[in-house]
Amino acid sequence: MDQTRRLTLVAGLLFILLGAFFLAVQLVPGFDVWLDLAYWWPLVVVAPGVLLFLLALVIQVPALAVPGSIITGIGALLFWQNATGNWDSWAYAWTLIPGFNGIGLILTGLLSGKPGKSLSAGLWLIVISIVLFAVFASLLGGPALPGTIVPSLVIALGVLMLARALLHFGAAK
């Protein structure tokens, strides 16, 4: 099946799902109350990210995983901030965006079957993002650095060990 046909198939399925959702809002009593948009609106940001992941899989364009992970990550941040009311966390939460990019690079490498360089670059972006998050959060009113530095260092060490193991495993093939 060629890419144009796959894309048309995905678009058709998405329109069916979207139409079913709007139909449910119109016909099912209380559905709109259950779906309190004041709480769930960040899913409007998450949905395009998930769509990009699906497109990466269906039309076999692995590079779409990068914007998909960035958009999904930002939507997840918005969801958390909306649920907790902690909007001030944007002062340091933006430092997670390079990590979302790193996740996208890793997924791109895995989907393309060539994880080597993208895996290494993605893991480094995740480590940098974690460190920046810990530093900025401690300086700008987020979780205090002394309380998060040890877990952050343990996570960073685990990510580095994982990267080393995966890179050596990939090089052995």
Residue 13 lies in a domain: no
Residue 2 confidence (pLDDT)? 67
Q: Specify the higher pLDDT residue, 112 or 32.
A: 112
Query: Residue 154 falls within a domain, yes or no?
Result: yes
Mean pLDDT value of segment 61-82:
92
- Res 168: pLDDT: 64
Q: In whole angstroms, give the CA distance from residue 81 to residue 142.
A: 13
Low-confidence winner among 69-78, 111-120, 139-148 (lowest mean pLDDT):
139-148
Report pLDDT for 35: 67
This prediction has a pTM of 0.70
Residue-level pLDDT at 100:
96
Query: Which pLDDT band holds residue 112 (cuts at 50, 70, 90)?
Result: confident
**Which residue is associated with the tokens 């060490």?**
157
Query: Does residue 166 belong to any structural domain of this protein?
Result: yes
Highest mean pLDDT: which range of 47-51, 61-65, 92-96, 139-143: 92-96
- Establish if 10 belongs to a structural domain: no
Q: Is 107 among the domain residues? A: yes
Count of structural domains within the chain: 1
Could you list the residue range(s) of the whole structural domain that residue 67 is in?
A: 36-171
The answer as to whether 67 is a domain residue is: yes
Judge whether 131 lies within some domain.
yes
- Confidence band for 68, pLDDT divided at 50, 70 and 90: very high
